[in-house]
Amino acid sequence: MADITDIKSILYTEKTLGLQEHGVVVVQTSTRMTKNRLKEVFREYFGVTPKSVNSLRATGKVKRFRGILGQRESYKKFYVTLPDGAQLESLAV
């Protein structure tokens, strides 16, 4: 079952804004999200069937804060290629 709450954010950086001009949206999700589940979310909630989905897993860095070791949260990043002419409503400017 696909759930939109697994999507943490759509990334807006210099690099990702350049990719959006070519129809690629970069999405940061929880580590339990899969390519097929992400495709379902895009079909169900955004009404767009992605052309392709590439994934990247980032493990959290170990950091020290006031002498105490901790770890940042791990996440997955997906590069979602949209069909030609398709655009997400939330990204429309």
DSSP 29-82: E-TT--HHHHHHHIIIII----SEEEEEEEPPPEEEETTEEEEPPPEEEEEEEP
What's the whole-model pTM score? 0.83
pLDDT score, position 4: 82
pLDDT at 84: 84
Spatial CA neighbour of 90 closest among 52, 47, 38, 50: 47
pLDDT at 2 over 70: no
Average pLDDT over residues 70-89: 88
Mean pLDDT of the 28-44 span: 92
Range 4-86: architecture per CATH:
2-Layer Sandwich (3.30)
